[in-house]
Every structure is written in C-alpha cells, then in structure tokens.
Structure 1
Amino acid sequence: MAEGLRERKKRETRQRISDIATGLFLEHGFLTVTIADVAEAADVSVNTVYNYFPAKEDLFFDRSAGVVEQLSRWVRGRDEGESAARAVLRELRAEAEAVSPRIGLMQGYDRFMRVIHEAPPLRSRLWSLQQEIHDHLEATLREETGAPDGDPLPGLIAGQISWIHQTVFVTIGREMVAGRNPDEVSREVLVLLDDIEELLSEKVLNYAVRGAQ
C-alpha cells in the first residue's frame, strides 16, 4: 500500500509540474521560461524537475507517448474486414465529427501552436515525434501482417497513413491559429478526409485487412 501511495504521489507531482510549465510557456513563451522558473512556480527543486523531465521540451510534450502510440492503437483496434488505413480514416472522422479537443478542435489551441512555431527546439522535437509515430506504426504493421524484416511495404504504408494523420493535424493547427471556429474547421476536415481517401491507392486502402477472429 505504501508503494502505491508513493507512486500516486509521483504521478501527481509530475502532472502538477507539467501543468504549471505549460501555463508558463503559454503565457511567456517557451524560450523565455527556464527550468528554474518552473521549479519555483511548482515549489520544487530544479533537480526534481529534471528527475521527471530530462529535457525542457519534455515538459511541453509531456503526453507525447500517447500521441506516438495513437495510430498503432487505432490499427490494432480495427474491425473485422477493415484495413489499417480505413481504420485510421474512420477514427479521424469520428474525432472530427465530435469536434474533439484531442485533434486540436478547441478554443485556445492556437496558443499552443504559436508556442511551437516561435520555438525552434519545439519544432525540432515535433519533427522527431512525427518520425517516432511513423516508426511505431511501421513496427505495428509488420507485426500485424507478419511481414519479414526485409519487406519494405510496412514502412511505405506507415508513411502513407502517417501522412493522413499529419495532414489533418497541420490543417487544424493552421486554421485554429487563423482564429477559425472549431465547428467550422471540423466540417472542413471531414471534406478533407474524403479528398485524402480518394487520393489513396487500393493497395494502401486494402493493406492489413483484419480477417475473421
């Protein structure tokens, strides 16, 4: 029981530091705020912050692990008779129809995106995250299809699916920064997803179809 309490306290401390850091970054900018500023605001030592977040960028992208694994989760959860690409398209459509904050369809998302655009280290980390998303999805597709290590197809399909995901997020980010209404943007994203699906080849759309369980 004591071990469980310690772990819960660690999670709470980590979350509190992350929330405080995000607020400071949004208010003052990523480059202006220091780790010492975060530590002071959170009433912890600088070393404590580094114990939870090895790099300053980790404070801003605290939930990146969930983002990296998202496409793989959608692919693994695809329905019987559904391909990997169609599963991702379905999930993105559902998020857009729900005007979901998970894909940036919310007031205030423009502040988040501006912080990234104004900070080269964050733009660099975002690029790295996109590569991690691709690599994680490639590994998932290889596992789901049983493709051998030398088969290039899982990587190529992962690139196509990652492009779908990235295009949607880039479009939403751009429109929200422009001050658009989330409801309006969500409708445009649904049209965009239809356009994207029309561009995809049958080979992409029919890759990794789940058979009967």
Structure 2
Amino acid sequence: MSIDTLGLREQKKRETRQAISDHATQLFIERGFDRTTIAEIATAARVAKMTVTNYFPRKEDLALDHHEEFVDGLAKTVRERPSGQSPLVALQEAYLAAVRAQDPVVGFTGQAFARMVADSPTLLARLRDLHEQREAALAGELGVEWADSVAARVVAAQLAGVDRVLFREVQGRTLEGQSAEEIATAMLEIAQRAFGLLA
C-alpha cells in the first residue's frame, strides 16, 4: 500500500469522525443529549451504528469530542514551557492566549452547546470526570520534575482548581447570554486576578 493511499485513508477517517461528531452535536442541541440515541446519530451521519461506536466508544465523547486535548492541556503547557518558567506563569499565559482565541477548550462553546451540557446530568458528570483527569495529568507532569509526589498533587490541585473556576465562569456567562467578545474581555481581567491570588 502506497503512502498516498495511507494518507487518503487517514483523511477519510478524520472526515468520517468529524461528520459523526457534527451530526451528533446538532442532534444533541436540537433534542437534548439524553434523548438522542446512537442509532439516530448513525442515521443522520449515514454510517452504521457500529461505525459511530468505533470512533466514539462513549456517547459522552460525541458531545465532548475535544476531551483528549482537554485532559492533556494543562500538563502539555507545563511540559512544553520555556526553561526557567514556572508552571504558574506558563499556565496563566496559555490561559490568557486561549481566552483571546475564544478557544472551546476553555469554555467558549456558544450558548446552545453550553445549555445542552448544563441540561444533561450525564454530561455534567463526564465534565467533572474530565476535570479530575486533567488535574491528575498535571500532577503526573509536575511529578516528573519534583521528587515530592504529594507536593506535585497539591500544586496540581491548586492550579487545576483555578482552571475549573475559570471554565465555570465562562460557561455561566455564556448561559446568561453574554457574547463571546464580552466574555473574553471580562475573563482576561478575572483570570489575571485569579492567577494573582494563587501566586
């Protein structure tokens, strides 16, 4: 099999995954997450039900499809920070950049999506789980640098705690109907205050 064939196959897989995710999100917003079935998503995306579950083993991952990026985000920022920069400064700078970009990973999802998540106990539970995984990944990364695993977990809990508060603030403002621009302007100030308190 040629490299071109492999490249086309991977491109087709990415397109199929994105199409499934897009159709799922549309159905979730229209009908609610808990009332939408995998079979309905498969029909809308014109794929087999098994294809949906092959790409997304958990129904929640259809809605929260950036979960891997989300879980690794804090740890990756710390791992890739410039030499000599503290984890706190690296995370603050990364967060402020994400706010300026109105990145969905920090909560800029739009009102319809935020409402869909807020109305689903299943998705709220999954989101709490993802925040815990995010904190654990950060603790693991800090533990690579520090001999004291308890200290790494304590610092990760503090840093992830600020991140969680800021995420909820973005979502709350979104649900109130504020525009993404209004939220971003407010969050730049709120985030600097929050990280400053932690410092």
TM-score, length-scaled by structure 1: 0.85
* Cα distance between partner residues in 2 of 1:35 and 1:146: 44
* Cα distance between partner residues in 2 of 1:17 and 1:101: 19
Larger proportion of helix: 2
* Cα distance between partner residues in 1 of 2:146 and 2:193: 30
Summarize the alignment of residues 108-127 of structure 1 with structure 2, pairs less than 5 Å apart.
109-127=110-128
Q: Which position in structure 2 is the counterpart of 1:179?
A: 177
Aligned length: 196
* Cα distance between partner residues in 2 of 1:95 and 1:147: 31
Structure 2: any 5+ residue segments left out of the alignment?
Answer: none
Q: In the TM superposition, what whole-angstrom CA distance separates every residue of 1:73-113 from its partner, at most 9, and x where no partner exists?
A: 211222233200111111112222444455344xx611111
AA aligned opposite 1:140 = E
Q: Which position in structure 2 is the counterpart of 1:211?
A: none
Q: In the TM superposition, what whole-angstrom CA distance separates every residue of 1:12-58 from its partner, at most 9, and x where no partner exists?
A: 21121111111111122111211110011111111221121112112
* Cα distance between partner residues in 1 of 2:71 and 2:47: 29
Q: Which position in structure 1 is the counterpart of 2:77?
A: 74
Residue 69 of structure 1: CA displacement? 0.9
* Cα distance between partner residues in 1 of 2:104 and 2:136: 25
1:23 to 26, 33, 44: 26
TM-score, length-scaled by structure 2: 0.90
Instruction: Describe the SS at the equivalent of 1:152.
Output: helix
Q: Which position in structure 1 is the counterpart of 2:8?
A: 5
Q: CA RMSD in A?
A: 1.8
* Cα distance between partner residues in 1 of 2:104 and 2:132: 23
* Cα distance between partner residues in 1 of 2:100 and 2:120: 31
Summarize the alignment of residues 44-193 of structure 1 with structure 2, pairs less than 5 Å apart.
44-105=47-108, 109-143=110-144, 145-147=145-147, 151-193=149-191
Q: In the TM superposition, what whole-angstrom CA distance separates every residue of 1:167-212 from its partner, at most 9, and x where no partner exists?
A: 1111011001101122222222122123213322xxxx4xxxxxxx
Moved more, 38-47 or 2-11: 2-11
* Cα distance between partner residues in 2 of 1:21 and 1:140: 33
Tell me if structure 1 keeps the 8 A contact 2:70–2:105.
Answer: no
Structure 1: any 5+ residue segments left out of the alignment?
Answer: 206-213
Q: Which position in structure 2 is the counterpart of 1:37?
A: 40
Q: Which has the higher contact order (CA 8 A, sep 6+)?
A: 1
AA aligned opposite 2:98 = E
Distance 1:9 1:170, change over 3 A: same
* Cα distance between partner residues in 1 of 2:13 and 2:103: 29
Tell me if structure 1 keeps the 8 A contact 2:146–2:152.
Answer: no
